[in-house]
Structures are given as C-alpha cells and as structure tokens.
Amino acid sequence: MSDVRVTVQRGQQAEERVVRAGTTAAELFDGERSVIAARVGGRQRDLAHPLAAGDVVEPITVDSPDGRAIVRHSCAHVVAQAVQDLFPKAKLGIGPPIQDGFYYDFDVERPFTPEDLKAVEKRAQEIIKSGQRFSRRVVTDDEARAELADEPYKIELIGLKSSAGDDAEASVEVGAGELTIYDNLDPKSGELCWKDLCRGPHVPTTRHIPAFAVQRSAAAYWRGSERNPQLQRIYGTAWESREALKEYQHRLAEAEKRDHRRLGAELDLFSFPTEIGPGLAVFHPKGGAIRTVMEDYSRRRHIEAGYEFVNTPHITKSDLYEISGHLDWFADGMYPPMQLDGGADYYLKPMNCPMHILIFRSRGRSYRELPLRLFEFGTVYRYEKSGVVHGLTRVRGLTQDDAHLFCAREQLPEELDSVLKFVLGLLRDYGLEDFYLELSTRPEGKAIGSDEEWAEATELLREAASKQDLELVMDEGGGAFYGPKISVQAKDAIGRTWQLSTIQVDFQLPQRFDMTYQAADGTRQRPFMIHRALFGTIERFFAILLEHYAGALPPWLAPVQVVGIPITDEHVPYLADVAAKLRERGIRVEVDSSDDRMQKKIRTAQKQKVPFMLLAGDEDVSKGAVSFRFRDGTQRNGVPVDEAVAEILDVVERRVQV
RNA sequence: GCCGGCGUGGCGCAAUUGGUAGCGCACUCGACUUGUAAUCGAGCGGUUAGGGGUUCGAGUCCCCUCGCCGGCUCCA
C-alpha cells in the first residue's frame, strides 16, 4: 500500500501528515475521544471516512456547534429506532438537529402519551448503551426505494431529491448528490438493528451520545404544510456531557421563571380575563405604570427627533383597506366586518398606515414639509388564529408605536439612516444592547410593485443598514407584500433573540392612495413612505423587557420604585414624610403600613422586586436618616433623607439598572 | 385553523377502586410593636370552567362548548 499525504487543520494551524492509503479519519485522530467526526475538504464526514491524498482534514469535536448538531442528529436516529422498536407500525418522517436539540416526526396510529415518551427514552437509553455502530452505505435511488418500500415519507423524499435537487426540507435526509443509508449495526454480531435514509454524518457509535433527554411530543404537518397529514413529532435534546445537559435544563428552568405570563400574574401587572376574549389583555395599575413610563419616554424622544403626533380611530369603512390592498392579503387575519349605515362594511383597524396617509392627504402638501413624520400609539386589532395567541407576545388587540415618514426621493437615504440610529438609540435606553439587523426581501408570489421598485427599495435599506456597524443577515422572501424591511433583532439577558423594530420602504401605498406634494419647481411629486415600528407593539415589548429583566425592572421603569418599611408602627408618619418628598419629585413610592412584621414587609417588597426599600426605626429617625435595602439584599444604613432622595432621583433619571 | 395535554376558592396544590371538596399563600378581623426574606389566633371564600349524559351516587367515567398550555401552520 502506498502512502498519502494529508493536512490536519486545527484552527489556524496546519500539520502535514503522511499516512497509509485508506487510513480513516478515525485513525488520524486516534485517542482523541472528543473527536466524533471530521471535515474533509470542507465537507462533514464520518470518522470512518477513508482519506485520500491531498485531503485537508479538520477534527469536529463533540462540544463544538457542528459536533453538537451531529450528536443530536445521531440521537434523533436512536429515538426513531426506539419508537419503531416500541411501535412497529410507526412510519418515519424527518429527524433533523435544531437549536439545542432535535426532533423526529412519525406517522403513528395514535399520538404519543407521556408514558410512551418515557418508554421511548428508556429504550433509546438501552440502544445508546448497546453501542451500535453507525455505518454509511451509498445506494442508488432504486435500491433506496426498494429497501424503504415500507416508509412512504422517505420514498417521497427520494422523489424530491431527484426532482428538486437540494430541497431545503429534505436536505438532512437526502442531501444533494448521492443517496446514503445509515445502518445501525450490533457491535458484536454486526447484525443490522435498524436503518434510515440519511445524509449524515453520524457519531461512530451510539455510545458517542454522551447525554440526552426526550422532551415532549407535538403534532407537525408533514413538510410544513397544513394541507399535508399531521405527524407526531418527538422533541429531544442531546449534549456533549451530562453537565452540559444539566446546564441546558437549568437554562430552560430559568427561562420559565422569567416567563412574562408568570411574572405578569406574580407582580400583578396584567391579565387576560376570559370574559373579554383570547388575546385581549387588561393592564392592572402596576402594569399600567410601566406602560405609561415606556410611552412617556418614547413620546419625549420622538418629539426631540422631529416627529408629530396624530390620533386615528379604531374602526373604518372597508374602502381604506381595499385601496391599501390589506383586504386582499389579510382578510383572514382581520375581524369580520360589521354592516352599518345601510350596507357599509366597517372593519376593526388592523394597520395604522392608511389612516396616516389620509392625514397627509387632508390638504395640499409642500416639499417644505418633508420629511413629514407622523407618530401614533395606534391600537389595532388582528384576528389571530386561535392556536397562536400567546401571552402578550401574540395578541389580538395591540398597540403599535407606529410612525410613517413621508419624504422626497433624495431624502430617503438620510432619513433611513437617521431613523435606524434613532431606533437603536432608543432601544439601548431601555437596556437592550446586543443587536443585529435583518434585511427581508421580496416575498415571491405575494407582492405588489415592479421588480425595479423592489430592487431600489431593497438597495436603499441595505445601504442604510450597512452604515450601522452591526451584523446584517439576509432574510430572502421575508418582506411585506408592499415592500422590503429591515428588522432589528435584539438579544436578551439569557441570549434569546427577539425581532423588535421594523423599518420598511414603501413605494406602493403612496401610489395606491395617489399621494402627492408640490415640489420646489412647482411640479406634483409622489412622496416616498417609510413604515416604522420601534417597540413593534407595546404589549410585546413590555413582555420582552419583563423577561429580559426577569421582572426586576430598572428603577425608572419599576412600577413601585420605593417602599418605605417602618420598624414599628410609630415610624410610619416619619416614612410618610420621606415618601411625600419622593412623590413630589415624581417617584412612585409606597409606605407599607400593614400590621405585618417588618421582616415580612421586606419579604413582600423583595418578592415584588422593588428596587429600593427604605427602612426607618428609632436610630434613623433620631438622625434624620433612612436605611436602604437593595434588591440584592445589601443594605446601607443611616443615610440622611436628602441624600437618599437625591440618590434615588439620580438613578431614575439616568435610567440605569441597580 | 390543526394535533395532543390540561381546567378544583384570587394564586399554588390535595382528594384511595366513582361515596358528597381539603391545605398553604393572599384577603378580613383580633392580639403582638419587633432593625433587614414569612408573629400568633380566628374568619371569609368553591353549583370542582360551562352544558349534557352514565350511575343509587360524578371533581373523578362519556359527549359537546369555552379557555389555557405545548407544537404545527400563520404573523400586514
């Protein structure tokens, strides 16, 4: 056998190695237990892959993003094998790795019960322990069809591969080019235990799945279309170690504690009375206090940035949405109309833009007025499908902090740049720091306007986005029907991303509504329109902030900023005086004069996540002082009242977290 | 909209094989007056989401409706 020369690449370091021809990646990384696959010439391969002369080989370790995905993909196979062991009639769908885990879809006679899932997890554990080998085998389409005659969904995927090439939804199973089947072989006898159509790669044996858990089951449409049959999907997770799995489960528990629906009830912020209807929230006094601060600060900043405030009604005749085109696209998502005034259809308003356009159109407009920036906290109603309403993040009645900017063509680049800067600046003031931008382009098949208009609008947005010194991600086909959009994606305190602000360039509605202004040369010109929501919706942004801060809002946003806690009843009047001083300066302060003991009052305020507790007993009273207790449990005693007031005011005015 | 799960006082939970609803927190009243996360006692509060059925008897079993939860689809 001849020798071949290969390059082992580790990060920036490359190492030349001479090995026997036919040497596998596994042999190359012999003894490196964390290596579970390799990238050969840029393509992910099994460790059993034989190397060829000139190959550049990179190890893929189990704790890398690619490595985890491979472990999860392999674990999905094990779960599928377990399911078919326990439910021989189950037909396989697809089973890809996803963020933090994997799923596998099955066509089964009845949905899985919690007990079924326990049994599946147990069986999967046995399979993992048995150390079955993942063995790759290239097959022709016809061979695959013959072998998988009992797996109708797999057959369909093979058909997709030959017709559509690299179909995204089928890619994990069949990939592009050659078709492969992975056999799971018994380590001792070599006997075939299970097999699945799959592109791979996989870990060498099931023992290379260090830690996993079956999480839940849910229905999912085959190939993501509601016209297709529903399959039963099992979600699971897998990690490089038991510790990593534990940490992940801990993260899930933390996220659950931050759930805004839970915090909303615990902190008495809002509720969804069933008497009102799904997706229709009421804000309680404390939630109302937060909203008011959010809105007031936003208003102030909008005034500073040259916006003008408008107000528009909540219902309208259908004409508006016929002209705008919303009725063509979104009639299903609107509340059905009421017939009034002898036959006119009145709709609850699902969008503010047409109304703002009518304000623009209410009189002749001059170029001197542009850019005209109209802003409104506009409440709209959308008939979201019953299965999708979710806390405050997906509701049926919502308030957009909606602005429409009307400007001349040559003002667009400057206006887009400044609105992006404005948006990002304001989001930072609310405590979000980590952003990236997403550019959504024309949605195929459901868009109005010419290719040229779309291209121009998209390019304008791209230029504005590229000036912001932020990562820009493309979202092909994700735009609205009337124009492309930039969305601002923000990461929260536990690393989840939320789509917040959207900025859209719209060439269409100004045409549809025949908007004009008079230019300097006396001609009539068509204005350009930018749609912009900053929070997106107040309700949703409220929820995001609540989860970001885990309910412990920074003092400027906290519904109750200060609670006075007397050591005994005698000290209530003294604290009432302190509270009055704070209240005069606009601080939201309460004195707990209940007949609870002082310790209990501290506990109560702590659980309500109040930023400042001010305690006062004889010692403080005699010195004209108060004692601070902060949310983290630390305290500062004997602070002169004026100093305490000044400190609280300072923190609130600077909008910092404590 | 689709699939599955769930629905017990304001909140969190309990109630052996169907036998007639209980606890903690909160709330009200009383006592206590205390220096940094729960004082003690008493009391109020439920047609077990709503409706129908099976049964001598239903919170427990069956059906329908409503709502919530987890997903899918959707998201102007």
B49 C1' closest Cα residue: A274
Question: Can you tell me the distance from the alpha carbon of A243 to that of A113, in angstroms, rounded to the nearest whole number?
Answer: 28
Q: Do β-strands A338-340 and A344-348 pair in parallel, antiparallel, or remain unpaired?
A: antiparallel
Q: Predicted confidence band at A176 (pLDDT cuts at 50, 70, 90)? A: low
What is the rounded average pLDDT of the residues A68-79? 97
What is the rounded average pLDDT of the residues A70-88? 96
Residue A520 inside a domain? The answer is yes
Residue A225 inside a domain? The answer is yes
A415 token code pair: 């206006």
What CATH number does residue A183 fall under?
A: 3.30.980.10
Residue recorded with tokens 């998988």: A148
Last residue of a domain, one of A492, A520, A548: A548
Q: Is the CB of A351 under 7 A from strand B?
A: yes
The distance (Å) linking the CA of A585 with the C1' of B14 is 49
A452/A532 same-domain check: yes
A432/A289 same-domain check: yes
Q: Is the CB of A481 under 7 A from strand B?
A: yes
A471/A526 same-domain check: yes
User: Of A515, A529, A516, whose CA–CA distance to A412 is shortest?
Assistant: A529
A56/A94 same-domain check: no
pLDDT at A134: 96
pLDDT at A159: 86
Rg of chain A over Cα atoms, rounded to whole angstroms, equals 31
Mark residues 492-511 of chain A whose C-beta is closer than 7 A to nucleic acid strand B. 504
Residue A485 inside a domain? The answer is yes
pLDDT at A200: 85
Q: Is the CB of A606 under 7 A from strand B?
A: yes
Q: Is the CB of A282 under 7 A from strand B?
A: no
Strand nucleotide closest to residue A478 (CA to C1') = B75
State phi, psi for A92 to the nearest 5 degrees.
-85, 135
| Paired strand residues for A347 | A316
State phi, psi for A339 to the nearest 5 degrees.
-90, 120
The distance (Å) linking the CA of A257 with the C1' of B17 is 38
A469/A575 same-domain check: no
Question: Can you tell me the distance from the alpha carbon of A118 to that of A215, in angstroms, rounded to the nearest whole number?
Answer: 9
State phi, psi for A216 to the nearest 5 degrees.
-160, 170
Q: Predicted confidence band at A455 (pLDDT cuts at 50, 70, 90)? A: very high
ipTM of the complex: 0.94
State phi, psi for A241 to the nearest 5 degrees.
-160, 165
Question: Can you tell me the distance from the alpha carbon of A22 to that of A53, in angstroms, rounded to the nearest whole number?
Answer: 10
As a whole number, the mean pLDDT across chain A is 93
Q: Is the CB of A615 under 7 A from strand B?
A: yes
How much of chain A is in helix, strand and coil states, percent to nearest 5? 35, 30, 35
- Per the CB < 8 A criterion, the answer to whether A193 and A184 are in contact is yes
Q: For the segment A381-422, what is each residue's pLDDT rounded down to a tens digit?
A: 999 999 999 999 999 999 999 999 999 999 999 999 999 999
Could you tell me the residue range of the domain that residue A195 belongs to?
Answer: 65-253
Sign of the alpha-carbon torsion through A12, A18, A19, A23: positive
State phi, psi for A148 to the nearest 5 degrees.
-105, 30
The distance (Å) linking the CA of A635 with the C1' of B35 is 11
- What is residue A257's three-state secondary structure? helix
Q: List, by residue number, the catalytic residues of A.
A: 353, 382, 400, 402, 404, 485, 531
Q: Predicted confidence band at A178 (pLDDT cuts at 50, 70, 90)? A: confident
Q: Which residues contact A104 (CB under 8 A, 6 or more apart)?
A: A76, A77, A79, A80, A83, A92, A93, A94, A95, A233, A234, A236
Number of independent structural domains in chain A: 4
Q: Is the CB of A394 under 7 A from strand B?
A: yes
pLDDT at A2: 80
Q: Is the CB of A619 under 7 A from strand B?
A: yes
The distance (Å) linking the CA of A602 with the C1' of B46 is 32
Question: Can you tell me the distance from the alpha carbon of A573 to that of A576, in angstroms, rounded to the nearest whole number?
Answer: 5
Strand nucleotide closest to residue A266 (CA to C1') = B11
User: Of A393, A383, A325, whose CA–CA distance to A357 is shortest?
Assistant: A325
User: Of A395, A352, A334, whose CA–CA distance to A541 is shortest?
Assistant: A395
A600 token code pair: 């209990």
What is the rounded average pLDDT of the residues A148-153? 94
pLDDT at A163: 56
**Measuring CA to CA, how many Å separate A316 from each of A194, A279, A309?**
61, 21, 20
Strand nucleotide closest to residue A635 (CA to C1') = B36
Question: Can you tell me the distance from the alpha carbon of A157 to that of A171, in angstroms, rounded to the nearest whole number?
Answer: 9
Q: Does residue A167 carry a pLDDT above 50?
A: no
Residue A516 inside a domain? The answer is yes
A232/A283 same-domain check: no
pLDDT at A243: 96
Q: For the segment A16-55, what is each residue's pLDDT rounded down to a tens digit?
A: 999 988 899 999 998 899 999 999 999 999 999 999 888 9
- Per the CB < 8 A criterion, the answer to whether A372 and A305 are in contact is no
Q: Is the CB of A390 under 7 A from strand B?
A: yes
Residue A513 inside a domain? The answer is yes
Amino acid at A508: Q
Question: Can you tell me the distance from the alpha carbon of A258 to that of A537, in angstroms, rounded to the nearest whole number?
Answer: 20
The distance (Å) linking the CA of A234 with the C1' of B14 is 32
State phi, psi for A254 to the nearest 5 degrees.
-65, -45
pLDDT at A171: 63
pLDDT at A1: 62
In chain A, the largest separation of any two C-alpha atoms, in whole Å, equals 96
A135/A229 same-domain check: yes
Question: Can you tell me the distance from the alpha carbon of A566 to that of A561, in angstroms, rounded to the nearest whole number?
Answer: 17
A178/A130 same-domain check: yes
What CATH number does residue A615 fall under?
A: 3.40.50.800
A213/A129 same-domain check: yes
Residue with more model confidence, A173 or A101: A101
A220 token code pair: 């999912």
A303/A437 same-domain check: yes
Last residue of a domain, one of A14, A33, A61: A61
Mark residues 95-124 of chain A whose C-beta is closer than 7 A to nucleic acid strand B. 111, 113
Question: Can you tell me the distance from the alpha carbon of A403 to that of A398, in angstroms, rounded to the nearest whole number?
Answer: 15
Torsion-angle region of A84 (φ positive above 0: left; ψ -120 to 50: alpha; else: beta): alpha
Q: Is the CB of A218 under 7 A from strand B?
A: yes
Q: Is the CB of A635 under 7 A from strand B?
A: yes
Helix (H) or strand (E) holding A16: strand A13-20
| Paired strand residues for A197 | A181
Residue A325 inside a domain? The answer is no
A200 token code pair: 């791979």
pLDDT at A166: 45
User: Of A571, A567, A562, A554, whose CA–CA distance to A590 is shortest?
Assistant: A562
Mark residues 12-71 of chain A whose C-beta is closer than 7 A to nucleic acid strand B. none
Q: Predicted confidence band at A160 (pLDDT cuts at 50, 70, 90)? A: confident
A524/A577 same-domain check: no
- Per the CB < 8 A criterion, the answer to whether A588 and A607 are in contact is no
Q: Is the CB of A436 under 7 A from strand B?
A: no
Residue A334 inside a domain? The answer is no
- Per the CB < 8 A criterion, the answer to whether A175 and A159 are in contact is no
Q: For the segment A632-644, what is each residue's pLDDT rounded down to a tens digit?
A: 999 999 999 999 9
A404/A439 same-domain check: yes
What CATH number does residue A43 fall under?
A: 3.10.20.30
Residue A625 inside a domain? The answer is yes
What is the rounded average pLDDT of the residues A60-77? 96
Q: Which residues contact A330 (CB under 8 A, 6 or more apart)?
A: A350
Q: Does residue A162 carry a pLDDT above 80?
A: no
Strand nucleotide closest to residue A388 (CA to C1') = B74
State phi, psi for A6 to the nearest 5 degrees.
-130, 160
Helix locations, A341-498, DSSP H? 353-361, 412-429, 451-466
- Per the CB < 8 A criterion, the answer to whether A356 and A363 are in contact is no
Q: For the segment A305-350, what is each residue's pLDDT rounded down to a tens digit?
A: 999 999 999 999 999 999 999 998 899 999 999 998 888 999 999 9
What CATH number does residue A448 fall under?
A: 3.30.930.10
State phi, psi for A511 to the nearest 5 degrees.
-70, -50
Chain B nucleotides with an atom closer than 7 Å to a protein C-beta: 1-5, 11-12, 26-27, 30-39, 66-76
User: Of A624, A637, A630, whose CA–CA distance to A651 is shortest?
Assistant: A630
Q: Predicted confidence band at A512 (pLDDT cuts at 50, 70, 90)? A: very high
